[in-house]
């Protein structure tokens, strides 16, 4: 249903912006985007590699969308940033497959990667848990050692200013029920605002 709906948005020339919810949401969006942009790249900003083939016996899981993306568009077209958690097999796959994984940091490695994507259509998927739990406790799989809200905003600015065609984006894994302080939702709303102001005009 999500894939079919995104198909209609793309047919109308609109900019898809997904909001979640678990990261599996991105998979049907990837499929719709690929049909329209077969030479696309994906920028993936996340605490977790999400390169598992299955999680607890389920192939459709929040731990699998980036592995599925590698199979769809080719691992060499997938760029992950901020990764600080994953299974040994996931890191082995990343190294062997030729995908681009940058651990812990986001903004600094982006500065080097974005020029290599010049002119290309790029989809951006952001998992809120790339932030340290001090900045975003309201998420399903919080991981200590993350980046600050300021660094993620800097990364968004770098993407906005890069010579790339941003074709769509999503922000996922926001779980307000886990955060009575509402700081996760406040941060997420700021990131979505920056997406709308800085990225939609680049479509």
For residue 172, which of 66, 58, 51 has the smallest C-alpha distance?
A: 66
CA dist 49 and 199 (Å) reads 24
**pLDDT-based confidence at residue 154 (cuts at 50, 70, 90):** very high
Q: List pLDDT tens digits, range 21-76.
A: 999 999 999 999 999 999 999 999 999 999 998 877 888 888 899 999 999 999 99
Task: State pTM to two decimals.
Answer: 0.96
17-202 is classed CATH 3.40.800.10? yes
Judge contact between 26 and 18, C-beta under 8 A: yes
Q: List pLDDT tens digits, range 93-145.
A: 999 999 999 999 999 999 999 999 999 999 999 999 999 999 999 999 999 99
**pLDDT-based confidence at residue 202 (cuts at 50, 70, 90):** low
């Amino acid at each position: 249903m999500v894939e079919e709906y995104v198909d209609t948005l793309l047919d109308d020339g609109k900019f898809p912006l997904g909001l979640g919810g678990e990261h599996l949401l991105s998979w049907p969006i990837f499929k719709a985007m690929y049909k329209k942009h077969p030479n696309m790249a994906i920028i993936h900003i996340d605490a977790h590699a999400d390169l598992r083939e299955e999680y607890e016996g389920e192939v459709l899981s929040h731990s699998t969308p980036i592995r599925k993306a590698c199979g769809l568009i080719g691992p060499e077209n997938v760029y992950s940033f901020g990764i600080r958690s994953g299974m040994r097999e996931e890191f082995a796959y990343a190294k062997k497959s030729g995908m681009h994984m940058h651990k812990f940091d986001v903004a600094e490695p982006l500065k080097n990667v974005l020029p290599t994507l010049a002119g290309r259509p790029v989809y951006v998927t952001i998992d809120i848990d790339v932030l340290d739990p001090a900045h975003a406790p309201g998420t399903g799989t919080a991981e200590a050692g993350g980046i600050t809200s300021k660094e993620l905003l800097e990364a968004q600015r770098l993407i906005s200013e890069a010579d790339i065609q941003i074709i769509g984006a999503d922000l996922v894994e926001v779980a307000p029920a886990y955060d009575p302080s509402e700081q996760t939702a406040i941060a997420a709303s700021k990131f979505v605002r920056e997406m709308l102001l800085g990225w939609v005009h680049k479509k």
